Structure 1
Amino acid sequence: MIKSNLKPILDEKNISIRKLSNDIDHGFNTVRKLYHDEMERYPRDLLDKVCTYLDIELHELLTYKRDQND
Structure 2
Amino acid sequence: MIINKLSEIMGRKRLKISDVVDGTGLARNTVTELYHGRAKRIDLETLDKLCLYLNVSVGEIFEHEGERKKSLPAD
Give the CA RMSD over aligned residues: 1.5
Q: What is aligned with 1:47?
A: 47
- The structure with the greater share of residues assigned to helix is 1
- Normalised to the residue count of structure 1, the TM-score between the two structures is 0.89
Letter in 1 for 2:8: P
* Counterpart secondary structure, 1:42: coil
Whether 2:63 is the aligned partner of 1:63: answer yes
Runs in 1 of length 4+ with deviation above 4 angstroms?
none
What is the percentage of aligned positions where both structures have the same residue? 29
Over residues 1-38 of structure 1, what are the superposed CA-to-partner deviations in whole Å (9 max), with x where a residue is unaligned?
11210101001101101110111001001111111111
Query: What runs of 5+ residues in structure 1 fail to find an aligned partner?
Result: none
Letter in 2 for 1:54: L
Q: What is aligned with 1:5?
A: 5
Whether 2:16 is the aligned partner of 1:16: answer yes
Query: What runs of 5+ residues in structure 2 fail to find an aligned partner?
Result: 70-75
Q: Counterparts of 1:29-44 in structure 2 under 5 Å?
A: 29-44=29-44
* Counterpart secondary structure, 1:8: helix
Larger Rg: 2
Distance 1:33 1:62 in 2: 14
